[in-house]
Amino acid sequence: MLTLYDCQTAPSPRRARIFMAEKGVDYKTVEIDLRKGEQMSPEFAKINPRCAVPCLVTEDGQAISENLAIASFVEAAYPNPPLMGVTALEKARVLEWNWRVEFEGLSAVAEILRNSSPHMKGRAMTGPRNIEQLPELAERGRTRLMHFYEDMNAQFAKSPNLAIDDYSFADITALVTIDFSKWVKASPDESLTALWAWHAKASARPASAV
């Protein structure tokens, strides 16, 4: 059986959990408590030297880190229902939007949190090495996140889901980003009605509850 190194409270592993729940894939979890610093333990560093979750270990013991890599593996191993597009163009659209959500959305939220929270002093970036906070990056993160939410809203005004008509990996990243941004009081503005209408539908999916 697949094993997911997980942390119930963190946004990145939630992406992997939702992806697998949408697929109906069975797996067991090992909880890594990030607040206790368990990601830095020598035992976990042997499994994922990036010291981050999620990390998926395959049935033959191969460890895969990074959500995009995990999703690509699961999509190839369990093709139905497809979550990364079917046609060549759909596959491109899913990756195009997923990258934008990760870079312009999710990493902007992380930038806000990691450069402003007193609990993250010296931990401005994920990974085994310590990096000091830059408070200006928190401010910049807020600005670029609000710009990106406007782009997302414009996309939802003309498309039922973010990248393609069907719900996809890019939507999962978007849902997790919007929910995560609440932690840093950087939720999308109420005026972005197409975004919020989509968010209500995505949140109601059973897989979103994991």
Ligand X SMILES: N[C@@H](CCC(=O)N[C@@H](CS)C(=O)NCC(=O)O)C(=O)O
Minimum separation from the CB atom of position 96 to ligand X (A): 17
Q: Give yes or no for residue 141 binding ligand X (CB under 6 A).
A: no
Q: Which of 53, 184 has the CB closer to ligand X?
A: 53
User: Which residues within the stretch 86-125 sit at the binding site for ligand X (CB under 6 A)?
Assistant: 123
Q: Which of 31, 38, 66, 166 binds ligand X (CB under 6 A)?
A: 66
Distance CA 47, CA 49 (A): 6
Count the Cβ atoms, other than its own, within 10 Å of residue 121. 12
Minimum separation from the CB atom of position 154 to ligand X (A): 25
Burial of 71 (0-12, 13-18, 19+ CB in 10 A): buried
Interface stretch with ligand X, choices 22-30, 46-54, 56-64, 184-192 (CB under 6 A): 46-54
Residue 109 CA neighbour count, 13 Å, CB half? 25
Q: Give yes or no for residue 177 binding ligand X (CB under 6 A).
A: no
Q: Which of 53, 145 has the CB closer to ligand X?
A: 53
Distance CA 181, CA 159 (A): 23
Return the closest-CA partner of residue 106 out of 204, 13, 30. 13
Q: Which of 67, 116 has the CB closer to ligand X?
A: 67
- Peptide bond just before 82 cis, omega within 30 deg: no
Q: Which of 134, 194 has the CB closer to ligand X?
A: 134
User: Which residues within the stretch 185-204 sit at the binding site for ligand X (CB under 6 A)?
Assistant: none
Q: Do the beta carbons of residue 28 and residue 1 sit within 8 Å?
A: yes
Q: In the 8-state DSSP scheme, what is residue 123?
A: B
Q: Which of 63, 194 has the CB closer to ligand X?
A: 63
Question: Which residue(s) pair with 29 in the sheet?
Answer: 4
Q: Which of 4, 20, 34, 113 binds ligand X (CB under 6 A)?
A: 34
Interacting residues with ligand X (CB under 6 A): 10-12, 34, 39, 52-54, 66-67, 123, 126
